[in-house]
Amino acid sequence: MVLGFDPGFAITGWGALEKKEHKVVVRGYGTLETAPADAMTLRLSRLFTDVNALIAEFRPERCVVERLFFTRNQKTAAGVYQARGVILAAIGLAGLPLLELTPQEIKQALTGSGRASKSDVLRMVERLLGVRPQRDDAADGLACALAGLSEMAWRLS
């Protein structure tokens, strides 16, 4: 079982996948959201609690978290990095192996091209898993988990 996360301060996408024989089974996916009106400390603690609940519910063998690269909006980047830190802390507290992949590595694993568009990734998630999440963030969480299912990815980390 792999639990994947696409970190975000307002919205974090997640996906839980399990490999059974030669099939990939979707165990769950969705988003974790925090209210913009809430204080930063409350938003981060709520995210931490929600990630811990997902870990308790799905009992993954390992987790995948997207690495982030921001060059433009530093204000947005600060919140996302804090959210990512909370996710990493929850994974660390659970003692789970962690794989961090860049957006390009995830796109490469799913589509064969590190320059694939969001719609290309969504199409591959739908094609490979048979689900079409309503939110891009949830699709990105599933994409992280899909990329992390590969044993090769874990050997290279």
Domains and CATH numbers, the chain: 2-156 (3.30.420.10)
| Residue 75, pLDDT score | 66
Mean pLDDT, to the nearest integer, of 19-42?
95
Amino acid identity of 149?
Answer: L
User: In whole numbers, what is the pLDDT of the chain averaged over residues?
Assistant: 92
> Residues near 69 by Cβ (< 8 Å), separated by ≥ 6?
102, 103
Q: Using an 8 Å Cβ cutoff, are 154 and 24 in contact? A: no
Q: Using an 8 Å Cβ cutoff, are 71 and 109 in contact? A: no
pLDDT of 72 above 80: no
pLDDT tens across 34-70, in order? 999 999 999 999 999 999 999 999 999 999 999 986 5
| Residue 155, pLDDT score | 59
Q: What's the angle, vertex CA 6, arms to CA 80 and CA 50, rounded to 5?
A: 80
Rounded Cα distance between 71 and 61, Å, is 33
Q: How far is CA 21 from CA 24, 59, 107, 111, 147, in A?
A: 8, 19, 24, 22, 17
Which of the given ranges, 46-55, 60-69, 73-82, 101-110, has the highest pLDDT on average? 46-55
Q: Which of 30-34, 41-45, 75-79, 86-90 has the lowest mean pLDDT?
A: 75-79
Rounded Cα distance between 102 and 121, Å, is 14
| Residue 24, pLDDT score | 94
Mean pLDDT, to the nearest integer, of 85-95?
98
pLDDT of 153 above 70: no
- Catalytic (active-site) positions: 6, 66, 137
Mean pLDDT, to the nearest integer, of 135-150?
94
